[in-house]
Amino acid sequence: MKYDKVYRVFLSSVGKLLEYERDAIREHIWKSGNLPIAMEGFNSSNNKYSIEVVIDYLNKSDIVIMVLGHLYGEIINGLEKSSCSLRTCNKCNGDRCCISYTHFEYLYSMEKNKLVFCIVENNYKDIKSVRKKLKDSKYRGDEAQKILESFKKDKTVNSDFIKAATEKYSYFYSNPAEILQSMLKINRYIHANPEKYNLVGLVDGSVLNELTKVKSEKEKINNDIKVLNELHITSNNYPIIFSKYKAICELQNLPINSCANIILGLMYELGIGTAEDFPLAKKQYQKAFDLGSDLGSYLLERNG
């Protein structure tokens, strides 16, 4: 399902044990015509400005998709309470931040009224599920053991975080097919509610071309209106103007007449210079559309 706009979608999750999910969701975002923003290439432990980079990307995003599973994730390194951007977080230990990057991304997105969706692994509390996932993963030896210890240590805080994050738009999965189903549901929701969340997005190229055409037609109509205003039109000579535009529109399919069709249609629709006649107005809009007018198409859609 594609949109008139390209939405910037921030993909948030821990980096380990969710590689497949991230790849699948990123690919789906691309295929739906939108732009995924992810932080895989960003090494937070080596960059003291990491949280500023995260904030910058979140500010530029229209939608945030959280992928949550067994692991709580890495605690933000070096972020002091006095310089933290969050206003609703009470998780600091003294002046030291004690939440993970993923948790921060969620809280910041909510404070900024971003549209946030959560896709959550069903068995995120289950140690057997962690062991199975580790067995099927690339992690071995000490690295696998560290991941298992992280799961045990952060199990409670991770569960509390997921419970809070899934109060609104959340989808749970147990297999790859359910991840795809979750993304399709998210797409349908966005498609049905674009104005509800004032999503800015990036305008698609084809839409820009249509807007350029409409702008050109609007300029032609404004020129006609300017000429009429210079003639000091009053209600007494509206019928004369109507008659002249009607005569122009009766000429056979000349592209130059699409603007005249639209003006005549508006006069029919509003009852200017003639009796109000909505069917005849739509007929003129249709003629303008048949002559290649995007504005004619818009007026037809607007009036059903």
Read off the pLDDT of residues 198-234 as tens digits, 9 standing for 90 and up.
777 766 555 555 656 666 666 666 666 565 555 444 5
Give the SS3 label for residue 297: helix
The answer to whether residues 150 and 293 belong to one domain is no
pLDDT of res. 209: 57
Q: Are residues 145 and 211 in the same domain?
A: no
Domain with 246 in it? 205-302
Q: Are residues 194 and 234 in the same domain?
A: no
- Listed residues 202, 227, 244: the one ending a domain: 202
Cα distance between residue 251 and residue 291, in whole Å: 13
| pLDDT at 148 (0 to 100) | 96
Give the integer Cα–Cα distance in Å for 185 and 191. 10
Asked if residues 266 and 281 have their Cβ atoms less than 8 Å apart, the reply is: yes
pLDDT for the residue 212: 62
| Same domain for 243 and 163 | no
Of 202, 226, 248, which residue constitutes the final position of a domain?
202
pLDDT for 175 equals 92
> Is 227 found in the same domain as 158?
no
Across 133-166, b (16+ Cβ under 10 Å) vs e yields bbeeeebeeeebeebbebbeebbeebeebbeebb
Q: What is the DSSP letter of 101?
A: H
Low-confidence ranges of the chain (pLDDT < 70): 1-4, 40-49, 93-94, 194, 202-238, 240, 248, 251-257, 303-304
pLDDT at 218: 63
- Strand (E) or helix (H) holding 105: helix 101-111
- CATH value at residue 130: 3.40.50.10140
19 and 138 together in one domain:
yes
- 81: burial class by Cβ within 10 Å (0-12, 13-18, 19+)? middle
Q: Are 41 and 166 in a shared domain?
A: yes
Report pLDDT for 6: 79
Q: What's the domain count of the chain?
A: 2
Q: Tell me, yes or no, whether 194 and 214 share the same domain.
A: no
